[in-house]
Structures are given as C-alpha cells and as structure tokens.
Amino acid sequence: MGRAPCCDKANVKRGPWSAEEDSILKNYLEQFGNGGNWIALPKKAGLNRCGKSCRLRWLNYLRPDIKHGGFTKEEDTIICNLYCTMGTHVWSVIASQLPGRTDNDVKNYWNTKLKKNVLAGKLSDNTQVSVSTIPEEFGNSSYYLSADSAAGAFLPYVSDINCYYHQNHPAPQGMIFDPSANSNYGNKMTSTTQEAAAASSLSISSSSSTLENNYDLRSANGNVEDEGILLDDFDFEYSYELLNGFDFEKASNEVAQCLGG
C-alpha cells in the first residue's frame, strides 16, 4: 500500500504562484507562523494550494531573509569546497553555510553554472596553481601543489580527484603538519566540514579525511612559508604528467565521471 497523498491533487491549484497568493501566504505566516503543520496551513490561510507547495514557496522565495541574485566568488568557493568534500546529498548543509541562500538555489546554481565551470576548469580568474617537486631535503618523490588563497574553489577540486592518498603518510622530513594553525587552509576546510556535519547530524565521511593531506610548509622558526596540498606518489593514481603539466582536461574528465557526466 502506497503512502496516502498529502492533499487532493485534483482539487488544489498547481503551477506558478500569483502575487495575490504570495501576499496571502506571506501575511498569514508572518502573523501566525505555520503552527507546526504545513498540511493544514493552506486551508487556514484560505489558499487552494498543497501544504507542501506553501512550504516550498515560503522557504525558497517569500522568506524575508532570502537573498536573490548572483552568487559571489566567496559563495562559489564555499559551494565547491563543501560539494567536493561532502558530495551531492547535502545541499541543505551547503545552503546553511550561505546566509540567505536556499538548498534549491544552491542546487540550481551548481547544476546550471558552477558544475560547468568546474568541469571546464574555469574556477577563478585569478587562480594561480603551480606544481613543483618538493626540495630534496623535504622528502623524495613527493609533489607539492600550491595555490593562492583566491584559488579556494580549486583546492577541493584537487583533493576530490586525488582521494587516494595514504591517510597516515607522515609529513616529509622538514615539513611540519600543524593541524592547529589558524591560517591553515586545510583547517578551515576541516572546520567547515565538521560544522556542516554537526549541523546535519552526519558523521564525517572518510572522504573528508583527505583534508589531512593539507599541509603547511613551515620553517624551523614555525613561520608558515607556504600552504597547499601535499601530493604523495605513494597512493597517487595519476601520472606525473598530470601533475607537472596539470592536465586540466584529463582531470576534468575524471571529475565528470565522478559526477556521472
């Protein structure tokens, strides 16, 4: 036996909301709230709509704190970060990190714009990414990818496709992995992920453990010399050509597969 419908679909209005309906719903909710029952609300408010439709209209459009209009680069960065560390099933968590944005907004924005930009490698106008071998004194055959802070949108993309690192691989000699560093990009990511996970009652998945591979490069006096993601050859499944030339096309294809594209 299937679930009983929440309303009589044949006898409720569907499709776009009129200004009058918006006004009725907004006025009612501002005055009385939803009373903990969306299903009963339309009848009380005098609307010939499904309760779920009322809820959606309010949450996605009528709420006073909703932010309409284009997304900022900072918002792009947050969406990319969280999407690539937590995946597709947490739009609401991602939206919770963006004041005034709804899960529907974020989802639409990702599906129509951001995802294409990511796949095209067009993440940020001023993204500067370089790959170099780590100086020998820091360890052999390891690669260090650095990016400026404006390239935040790029970093999770990298960590997403390179999710094969050995979690317990020690930092190379001469490098100090400092998980308590305030300015550590990796820590910012970890913190955000933890908060998001806590907000959604999710446990942090194993994929987020790749964040442990974000390193600060520190000199002996403890100053941060650089920060980025350590790419180790131990469990790395991509060729060194990819790293040295950073083959965006190939990487994009990998991500496209990951995204089911």
Partner DNA sequence: AAGGGAGGCAACCGCGGCTAG
Partner DNA sequence: CCTAGCCGCGGTTGCCTCCCT
Contact range with DNA by CB under 7 A, out of 84-92, 170-178, 230-238, 251-259: 84-92
* Beta-carbon count within 10 A of 52 CB: 13
Among 26, 34, 119, 133, binds DNA (CB under 7 A): 34
Tokens of 28: 């009612």
Residues 190, 208 contacting (CB under 8 angstroms): yes
Q: What is the torsional sign of CA 51, 56, 61, 63?
A: positive
Tokens of 46: 């005098």
Residue 72's nearest CA partner among 33, 113, 35, 41 is 113
Contact range with DNA by CB under 7 A, out of 2-10, 121-129, 216-224, 235-243: 2-10
- Residue 44 binding DNA, by CB under 7 A: no
Binding positions for DNA, 6-25, rule CB under 7 A: 6, 9, 14-17
Q: Considering beta carbons, is residue 99 or 173 the nearer one to DNA?
A: 99
- What kind and span of H or E run contains 131? strand 129-133
- Residue 253 binding DNA, by CB under 7 A: no
Residue 122's nearest CA partner among 91, 163, 151, 142 is 151
CB of 101 to DNA, least distance (A): 11
- What kind and span of H or E run contains 146? strand 142-147
Among 24, 25, 81, 109, binds DNA (CB under 7 A): 109
CB of 191 to DNA, least distance (A): 20
CA dist 98 and 71 (Å) reads: 10
Among 8, 89, 173, 180, binds DNA (CB under 7 A): 89
- Residue 209 binding DNA, by CB under 7 A: no
The sheet with strand 224-232 has its strands ordered as 129-133, 142-147, 224-232, 214-218
CB of 85 to DNA, least distance (A): 14
- Residue 83 binding DNA, by CB under 7 A: no
CB of 91 to DNA, least distance (A): 3
Q: Considering beta carbons, is residue 140 or 205 the nearer one to DNA?
A: 205
CA dist 213 and 190 (Å) reads: 11
What residues make contact with DNA under the rule CB under 7 A? 1-4, 6, 9, 14-17, 34, 36-40, 50-53, 55-57, 60-61, 68, 88-93, 103-105, 107-109, 111-113, 201
